[in-house]
Amino acid sequence: SRRPAVPKAPLPIKEFDDLTLLIRARQPLIVLEAEDPERVAVLVEYVCGCFGLPLFEWSPASGLRRKGGAGAVYNTQTLLGALGHVDASSVPAIYHLNLAGERLEDSRVIAKLLELRAEMAEQGEAIIVSAVDALPDELSRAFAMVTLSPPTREEYYQYVRAILSD
């Protein structure tokens, strides 16, 4: 039998609860603020597993790709192209947009995010944005905010226990 994979970073327990509550409440646009991108990745991947939804990750360097998939989705290197795929896709999913180095100033990107809101809420999907400096005024009311605190002592203990049991 295959052994379970050990988390790469401590799972932030309180923020996991906050994020699952937002997704259950069908909040489609979420900003995840954190110092540690690895904890963000672990949290988002774990939440997707709990909801049984595929995870698509986007970054400026690699475009939009399904977690565990081979390559990037065609024509998604730009943020607008990636959001076009989100709009066209009929498969409910969670999309993690790592905006490191990107700015949400393009009026077409802002309009597309606002346009996607209702349909994504209806389907139980979400766009989770991380590593964003600031949201433009037009988006600040549309996004829910979750801030990852530094790992607690208990989270570190869980992490060490998972490694030792592996």
Residue range 131-163, pLDDT digits in tens: 998 899 999 999 999 999 877 787 777 777 877
> What pLDDT score does 135 carry?
92
Do residues 50 and 32 make contact, with C-beta atoms less than 8 angstroms apart? no
Cα(33)–Cα(128) distance, integer angstroms: 10
Cα(157)–Cα(164) distance, integer angstroms: 10
Residue range 72-94, pLDDT digits in tens: 899 899 999 999 999 999 999 99
Burial of 165 (0-12, 13-18, 19+ CB in 10 A): exposed
Q: Which of these, 40, 118, 108, 43, lies nearest to 79 by C-alpha position? A: 108
> What pLDDT score does 1 carry?
47
Residue range 32-57, pLDDT digits in tens: 999 888 889 989 999 999 999 999 99
